[in-house]
Amino acid sequence: MRVRPRVVLLAVLALVFSTVSFAQTQKPTVKEGILTTSEVGGKLFPEKVFFRGQTASVQARNSGGVRYADELVVIGALVDSSGYASGIREKYQGYLITEVPLEVNGQALKPGAYGFGFIENDKFVVMDLGANELFQANSKKDAELKHPVPLQFSTGSGSGIYRLYKGRDYVEFHRAK
């Protein structure tokens, strides 16, 4: 039986194109977890952020975040708020950017950019970009934390729960539905 070269070539090309097409539709799986300072600062986070009519420099060395399996992120960093009025400066310590809805100690937070701070009486405050307070949530102190740093993200008390720390103070959050 004689096989025509043109038929063989067409069969091989069909196989190659179907393999390439299949490979392009397969996305690599991303492992959910903590993003380090080296992954966030200077790469994902801008050098300056807008808040209450001004820009503030981001402390890239004090940044971190969480990447979810669908590649959406929650990232945060401390900022230099020295140019702000003292009333704002007390509460505006960091900048949070979230691509997913969050629940922070029972408080809902939509995707967006926010100012945040850990304030007296063990409170965590979140503000919109106009410095309007959106909510306060109870924060906790972690006396067991061996090496507190200015800002960090870590795993929390259960699956899918994360912590945002400023020093030893922290709040837990998870992705909301």
Alpha carbon distances (Å) from 4 to 10, 15, 80, 124 = 10, 17, 73, 74
Which residues in 84-116 are b (16+ Cβ under 10 Å) and which e? beeebeebbbbbbbbebebbbeebebeeeebbb
Tell me if residue 18 falls in helix, strand or coil: helix
How far separated are the first and last CA of the chain, in Å rounded?
63
Tell me if residue 4 falls in helix, strand or coil: coil
Q: Please indicate, yes or no, if residue 23 is contained in any of the structural domains.
A: no
Task: Check residue 4 and give its pLDDT.
Answer: 63
What's the domain count of the chain? 1
CA distance 19 to 48: 45
Q: Please indicate, yes or no, if residue 25 is contained in any of the structural domains.
A: no
CA distance 126 to 173: 13
Q: Please indicate, yes or no, if residue 15 is contained in any of the structural domains.
A: no
121: containing domain: 33-175
CA distance 29 to 27: 6
Q: Please indicate, yes or no, if residue 98 is contained in any of the structural domains.
A: yes
Q: Please indicate, yes or no, if residue 69 is contained in any of the structural domains.
A: yes
Residue range 73-91, pLDDT digits in tens: 999 999 999 999 999 999 9
Q: Are 45 and 113 in contact (CB under 8 A)?
A: no
Of 6, 21, 95, 32, nearest to 59 (Cα)? Answer: 95
pLDDT in tens, the chain (177 residues): 555 656 544 454 455 455 444 445 555 677 999 999 999 998 999 999 999 999 999 999 999 999 999 999 999 999 999 999 999 999 999 999 999 999 999 999 999 999 999 999 999 999 999 999 999 999 999 999 999 999 999 999 999 999 999 999 999 999 998
Q: Please indicate, yes or no, if residue 39 is contained in any of the structural domains.
A: yes
> How many Cβ atoms are within 10 Å of 146's Cβ, its own excluded?
5
Tokens of 141: 């102190």
- The β-bridge partners of 114 are 96
Q: Rounded to two decimals, what is the model's pTM?
A: 0.83
Q: Please indicate, yes or no, if residue 6 is contained in any of the structural domains.
A: no
- 3-state SS, one letter per residue, for 81-104: CCCCCHHHHHHCCEEEEECCCEEE
Task: Check residue 27 and give its pLDDT.
Answer: 58
Q: Please indicate, yes or no, if residue 21 is contained in any of the structural domains.
A: no
φ, ψ of residue 95 to 5 degrees: the values are -130, 130
